[in-house]
Homo-oligomer: A and B are copies of this chain.
């Protein structure tokens, strides 16, 4: 695959905004403002028949009037004017179009015809089309977001993301921000008239900047082509898919949103599993999966070593670990004794789970207890529950030990993983969500950002933690099995 063909689309050096405006109530005004405020590193040409100055930049009356070459043209004019704009871009030698405008396939046969014409014009001029009815790209490496996320992270990362929903892509970008999920490129491709799921998966499979792939899909153009691309991509990189439109009612939703025929849920489920992709259940679950794949490459864990303060959470951990097929191996007596010696006698338990007796036990206790658990041969990973709400209470009284608390735990976990290969997983439930106590929620959000930056995935509860870990382990085990199978077939 020739990756360089996609550079002008995803890493454009020059950008034309067709329909640029000074009014923030117009899409062309909003887009331009976002591009400027986010800090795009390339050159921007506002295009508006009136010319003059728009948002402080020299505006040009037409595409053809632009002084230099254009990688990507952003089309924000009404649907009826998009064909003329596309033709003008073709004459100018523009490489790609991002068509934000809605009013195509999703509104019915008339829109579908307009969409076909748009693609024909673009193809005849050698241009690619993102959209229509999509937000386009977010590429932190060039400081570009066409999506309305002026405060998206400016850091690049290993996740490539494709979405038929622009708003959904924004949600994922924002949710990912505080969970250590950083993106190579996000593509909101809407109706997918030209660039579409299968091709984008092939691109991310080949892209060396991308290690994990995420997708929000409503429907695909060609099921067979999509399945082949998905299977090929998943054989090299984890692919997490959230499928929108899962029944008759959902189909009604997707037809009106992106003109996609959603298909049946059971069919999709089977296809994703057979391709070796990971199915997500909703937006937050999708982000949890991306976070876990980023933090835990190669994870195949089976035995959990659990540390928690409090009986309910110990029981809950065992319930959900077991529900998702993990074990919590019993400790050898010497390990149990080592842990017992660390704990306060009242209310603690030194088995697996280790009940720390206190939701905010000190690092001096947690760190050696983690070490003891990690030395158990049957324990593959550690799960630490922290009720940061109570830590919030403590720190309010004791004065700001919070950051030190987390950084000591995170540093110890990083060192333990380096030494033993056994990762830590954190569970930080949202408890103190009363407005009067919001400081504790803030502490939780800060802790999560700190842990995930250190490769420690953080979940809001046991179900989320173990269901996500199950899928990560299944992915790597499944990939290994498929690759072994192929190797054996090759020998025959």
Q: A244 an interface residue at 8 Å Cβ cutoff?
A: yes
Closest CB in chain B relative to A24 CB, distance in Å: 10
Q: Is the CB–CB distance between A315 and B257 below 8 Å? A: yes
The one of B153, B353, B429 that contacts A253, using a Cβ cutoff of 8 Å:
B353
Chain A at the B interface: SS class: helix
Q: Is the CB–CB distance between B323 and A246 below 8 Å? A: yes
> A418-476: which have CB < 8 Å to B?
429-438, 441-442, 445-446, 448-449, 460-463
Contacts of A174 in B (CB 8 A): 389, 431-434, 437
User: Given A322-B249, A430-B175: A256 and B446 within 8 A (CB)?
Assistant: no
Residue of B with least CB distance to A78: B346
Q: Is the CB–CB distance between B178 and A315 below 8 Å? A: no
Contacts of A387 in B (CB 8 A): 167, 171
Q: A279 an interface residue at 8 Å Cβ cutoff?
A: no
Considering the chains assembled together, what is the distance between the CA atoms of A256 and B317 in angstroms?
Answer: 14
Considering only CB atoms and an 8 Å cut-off, how many residues of chain A contact the other chain?
85
Q: A179 an interface residue at 8 Å Cβ cutoff?
A: yes
Residue of B with least CB distance to A176: B434
The one of B216, B247, B436 that contacts A322, using a Cβ cutoff of 8 Å:
B247
Q: Is the CB–CB distance between A312 and B171 below 8 Å? A: yes
> A167-219: which have CB < 8 Å to B?
167-168, 171, 174-175, 177-179, 216, 218
Considering the chains assembled together, what is the distance between the CA atoms of A317 and B252 in angstroms?
Answer: 11
Q: Is the CB–CB distance between B168 and A461 below 8 Å? A: no
> A129-162: which have CB < 8 Å to B?
150-151, 153
Stretch at the interface among A51-59, A82-90, A120-128, A280-288: A280-288
Closest CB in chain B relative to A176 CB, distance in Å: 9
Q: A318 an interface residue at 8 Å Cβ cutoff?
A: yes
Q: Is the CB–CB distance between B319 and A257 below 8 Å? A: no
Q: Mark A36-80, 1 if CB is under 8 A from B, else 0.
A: 000000000000000000000000000000000000000000000
Q: A165 an interface residue at 8 Å Cβ cutoff?
A: yes
Closest CB in chain B relative to A121 CB, distance in Å: 22
Residue among A312, A435, A448 with the highest chain B CB neighbour number at 10 A: A312
The one of B249, B393, B441 that contacts A328, using a Cβ cutoff of 8 Å:
B249
Q: A231 an interface residue at 8 Å Cβ cutoff?
A: no
Considering the chains assembled together, what is the distance between the CA atoms of A347 and B327 in angstroms?
Answer: 49
Q: Is the CB–CB distance between A312 and B463 below 8 Å? A: no
Q: A321 an interface residue at 8 Å Cβ cutoff?
A: yes
Q: Is the CB–CB distance between B244 and A316 below 8 Å? A: yes
Contacts of A359 in B (CB 8 A): 167
Q: Is the CB–CB distance between A177 and B430 below 8 Å? A: no
Closest CB in chain B relative to A432 CB, distance in Å: 5
User: Given A245-B315, A346-B27: A433 and B323 within 8 A (CB)?
Assistant: no
Q: Is the CB–CB distance between A463 and B282 below 8 Å? A: yes
User: Given A316-B282, A433-B445, A463-B281: A165 and B311 within 8 A (CB)?
Assistant: yes
Closest CB in chain B relative to A139 CB, distance in Å: 19
Considering the chains assembled together, what is the distance between the CA atoms of A101 and B347 in angstroms?
Answer: 8
Q: Is the CB–CB distance between A318 and B249 below 8 Å? A: yes
Considering the chains assembled together, what is the distance between the CA atoms of A254 and B178 in angstroms?
Answer: 35
User: Given A171-B431, A314-B253: A247 and B319 within 8 A (CB)?
Assistant: yes
Q: Is the CB–CB distance between A323 and B247 below 8 Å? A: yes
Considering the chains assembled together, what is the distance between the CA atoms of A442 and B435 in angstroms?
Answer: 7
Considering the chains assembled together, what is the distance between the CA atoms of A149 and B436 in angstroms?
Answer: 14
Q: A258 an interface residue at 8 Å Cβ cutoff?
A: yes
List 9 additional contacts besides A165-B310, A165-B311, A246-B319; criterion CB under 8 Å.
A167-B311, A174-B437, A244-B316, A244-B319, A246-B323, A252-B318, A253-B315, A256-B355, A257-B349
Q: 11 A-B residue contacts at CB 8 Å? A: A151-B393, A166-B311, A167-B312, A178-B437, A247-B319, A248-B322, A249-B322, A253-B319, A257-B349, A282-B320, A438-B445
Q: Give 9 nearest A-B pairs by CB, closest first.
A: A167-B310, A168-B312, A165-B312, A257-B311, A177-B434, A253-B315, A178-B434, A244-B315, A178-B433
